Amino acid sequence: MTAATYQYVDLPDASVVTTRALLTARENIADTVAARAMMCIHGGAGFGKTLAVNTCLHELEPVEDVRRVTFRARPTARAVRYELFTALDLAGEPPRHPSEFDRLLKTALAERPRTFLVDEAQWLNGEAFEYFRYLWDEPATQLAVIFVGGEGCHTVLRREPMLSSRIFIWQHFTRLTPSEVLDVIPLFHPVWADADPEDITFADSHAAHGNFRAWAQLTAHTRTALARTGRARVDQELLRRAFSRLA
């Protein structure tokens, strides 16, 4: 697995595993794109939202024009305009006046169907969300929007009735259940393929807690510990060594 698969760490030999959440996201995203609609995928940090969405969108990209934007601070409508200008690879200098900028973006978005993945959407405030609604409401634009973010994303969207009422699908990502952990973690990485199920449960209850990002982190440390000790298989003593590196 490489950076192109959107994993938290570069973890050799890791695989994207088909969880129930990923299967649901695949259906929801396909339906949203087909309807040229908007959806919201939200949940806690490290639950696999971004990886799942990017994996599903990658499957659509041969026929769908997917553009990705990410916000790291609370952007204004002006900042959203500039991000979209860059994401669309528009030529020339960005217009200075908002009305002119809006016409340019609407014209570009009317050219052909596009899907926008708006990651880290918990950073968006009401003004920024409203600007996406403004563009999506334009009859000529052929736009699907997928908002992906933490629980704050859901909270802000629900406070904006004009936008919330237009969300086609809501999907909430949660932790892996203990039974899901036993099903998917052995498929996630060879480190766990022949591990005792009790050791996987031990690792989840003491360190990973059903969080895919934590599992990726733990797997990287466990892989290193196996290489340094020369052991062929995970055990609880080795796992405790890996736990000591985690917060």
* C-alpha to C-alpha distance for 237 and 247, rounded to whole angstroms: 18
* C-alpha to C-alpha distance for 60 and 27, rounded to whole angstroms: 12
Predicted local confidence at residue 215, as pLDDT? 95
Residue 127's Cβ-count burial label (10 Å; 0-12, 13-18, 19+) is: middle
At 125-181, the pLDDT tens digits run: 888 999 999 999 999 999 999 999 998 888 888 888 888 899 999 999 999 999 999
20-173: CATH homologous superfamily? P-loop containing nucleotide triphosphate hydrolases (3.40.50.300)
Predicted local confidence at residue 199, as pLDDT? 96
At 192-222, the pLDDT tens digits run: 999 999 999 999 999 999 999 999 999 999 9
Q: Residue 62, CB half-sphere, CA atoms under 13 Å: how many?
A: 1
Q: Does residue 3 surpass a pLDDT of 60? A: no
For 92, 128, 160, 171, the CA distances from 118, given in Å and listed in that order, are 24, 11, 17, 15
pTM of the full predicted structure?
0.89
Q: What strand order describes the sheet that includes 143-149?
A: 66-70, 114-119, 143-149, 38-43, 167-173
The domain segmentation of the chain, as residue ranges, is 20-173, 178-244
Predicted local confidence at residue 154, as pLDDT? 86
The H-assigned helical ranges of 35-124 are 49-60, 77-87, 98-109
Tokens representing residue 6 in the block? 């959107």
Region 76-90: what's the mean pLDDT?
Answer: 93
Q: How much of the chain, in percent, has pLDDT values that exceed 90? A: 74
Predicted local confidence at residue 9, as pLDDT? 63
Q: Does residue 80 surpass a pLDDT of 80? A: yes
Tokens representing residue 24 in the block? 């649901």
Q: Does residue 4 surpass a pLDDT of 60? A: no
Predicted local confidence at residue 8, as pLDDT? 55
121 and 152 in contact (C-beta within 8 Å)? no
Tokens representing residue 82 in the block? 């500039």
SS3 track for 22-76? HHHHHHHHHHHHHCCCEEEEEECCCCCHHHHHHHHHHHHCCCCCEEEEECCCCCC
